[in-house]
Amino acid sequence: MATDPDPGDGAESVDSLDMGRRGEESGPTIEFYGGRGMSAFPLVFFIVWAVVQSGLLRIGDTTGLVAGMLVGLILGMLFVRGSWQGYANTVGGLVWAASVADIGASLFPAITFILAGLLATGIGTGYGTTVAFTTLFFPAGILLGASPVLMFGAILSGAVFGDNLAPVSDTTIVSAVTQQADIGGVVASRFKYAIVAAILAFAGYVVAGGAMPGLDISGQQQQIFLENSRPLGLVHLVSMFAVIGTAVAGRHIVEAISWGIIVAFVANVALGLASVAEMVVFRAPPDLAIAESLSWLPFVTLAESQDAVGVGGSLYSGAEGFFPLIVLVLLIVAGAQITINGGGFAAIQDWLLTSVATSVRRSELTMVLGTAIVNAMITINTAAEIAIAPYIARLGERFNINGYRRANILDANTAALGYIFPWSGGVLVGYAVIQDLPNRFEWFTQSMVVNPVEVVPFVFHGWLLVTVFIIAALTGFGREYTVDRESEEVARV
């Protein structure tokens, strides 16, 4: 009888051409209401957007085109049949809620850490959590009198917690699969390490919150803002819960984020929290006749001067703010890839394997050190994890260290260090959002922007998680060998 090939024997390595032929034979993998033609909706919408923006309104703005493609993708998902695998009012609401609950400046960073950790665990992405919390909780904490650097550190710590512990996190999946361990068993076995670091981090934020004063915001301006803070602003949190609920339900993260954007847009317009023009607007040349005839539309207006022509709104600003970050990350990753392809990375790893990892204790310490070296070179934690994973497996197998233990060391240290280094992707994502806050709030000044170098000591959970594993390696806490427990069937991706 013919049997299925062993996944480990290369059966999963399929020629791309063959994959293409199989895709053609099996037909479309996504079904649309209205038939296959509706699958072209995102591209058609983008073309119409581009024609209106560039041709009709004479606005040459590349970022505006990016925003158009984003909107097209979100709207296009509404036509998918079945499973969809394939944001100043809110700050006011948060300040109101904190005032009602009597949560002062000293406790706000600690509470922020907990909430960020819960969100990151629910949606499985520390980057998404960092963006959401630096957009909403960071300015709210500043207004309440919390230290900016402590707030940023608390947000990053929450991202570390969720990225490490979430079953749907890409780092969790990669760490489990590369170490031949099942995801459920890995998550269950790493909880003891994560909770120890989390409890200590929470205590640290409580103590530091009382010891570190916030910035001196103009008393009158702060009072006016506080007096006008209202519970209605909390409606925007519904969009966050929409993201969490959709992600926890097992849907794709792109669908979850899209639903968050849709809910926020509808809430803004329906409740009068923000107009359509505040979210997206075409500012056409003042002497363009066709633009004047279309100015009755809520998203078309005439610019006051030729220099003011362009696309604007929160959607546009969000896309624009991340361009420098994207370019920087790509360049850093390119530099790291040169080191890898040139053999420098392999030379370091081979030296660690032959000269340092000479015992179980040293082997596990080398795993921690190895993840630190790789994360210093590759700023995207998942990419760093994939690069170091084979070496972690070799080190562990040499001393019969269980796959669960190897996966926990790999994932915890990669997740932690991915939100600590000033040039790390997680830190830079939050920094990009904070840099844009002076454009969103009149009271938010450049002095409130936290430099990535300043936040390094305050990512408490990240540092504590690394410390927990260093101690675990030295003492043997939680160590398991291959004979102690056998992994369930390994999840495949």
425-456: b (≥16 Cβ within 10 Å) or e: bbbbbbbbbbbbbeeeeebbeeebbbebeebb
pLDDT for 250 beyond 80:
no
| CA–CA dist 488, 486 (Å, integer) | 7
Q: How far from the centroid of its chain's Cα atoms is residue 148's Cα? A: 20
| Ramachandran region, residue 48 (left: φ > 0; alpha: ψ -120 to 50; beta: rest) | alpha
Longest dimension (CA), the chain: 82
| CA–CA dist 150, 337 (Å, integer) | 34
| CA–CA dist 391, 414 (Å, integer) | 14
For position 91, what pLDDT does the model report?
Answer: 46
The model's pLDDT over 454-478, given as tens digits with 9 standing for 90+, comes to 999 999 999 999 999 999 988 988 7
For position 199, what pLDDT does the model report?
Answer: 95
What is the chain's mean pLDDT, rounded?
74
pLDDT for 12 beyond 50:
no
| pTM, 2 dp | 0.64
What is the rounded average pLDDT of the residues 337-341?
67
| CA–CA dist 287, 382 (Å, integer) | 50
Strand order, beta sheet including 281-284: 300-302, 281-284, 310-312
Cα-atom radius of gyration of the chain, to the nearest Å?
A: 25
What is the rounded average pLDDT of the residues 217-224?
54
Q: Report the run of H or E that residue 406 belongs to, with start and end.
A: helix 403-417
Cβ atoms within 10 Å of 186's Cβ, excluding its own = 26
* % of the chain with per-residue pLDDT over 90: 12
For position 382, what pLDDT does the model report?
Answer: 78
Residue 17 pLDDT grade (very low, low, confident, very high; cuts 50, 70, 90): very low
C-alpha dihedral, 145 to 146 to 148 to 150, nearest 10°: 170
DSSP 282: E
Q: Which distant-in-sequence residues (6+ apart) come within 8 Å of 249 by Cβ?
A: none
- Weakest-pLDDT range from 131-145, 186-200, 269-283, 360-374: 269-283
What is the rounded average pLDDT of the residues 174-203?
87
For position 151, what pLDDT does the model report?
Answer: 93
* % of the chain with per-residue pLDDT over 70: 68
For position 343, what pLDDT does the model report?
Answer: 72
| CA–CA dist 349, 353 (Å, integer) | 6
Please tell me whether residue 30 adopts helix, strand or coil conformation: coil
289-309: b (≥16 Cβ within 10 Å) or e: eebeebeeeeebbbbeeeeeb
pLDDT for 262 beyond 70:
yes
- Weakest-pLDDT range from 233-242, 384-393, 429-438: 233-242
- Weakest-pLDDT range from 245-254, 256-265, 341-350: 245-254
Of the candidates 487, 491, 346, 471, the one whose C-alpha atom is nearest the C-alpha of residue 409 is 471
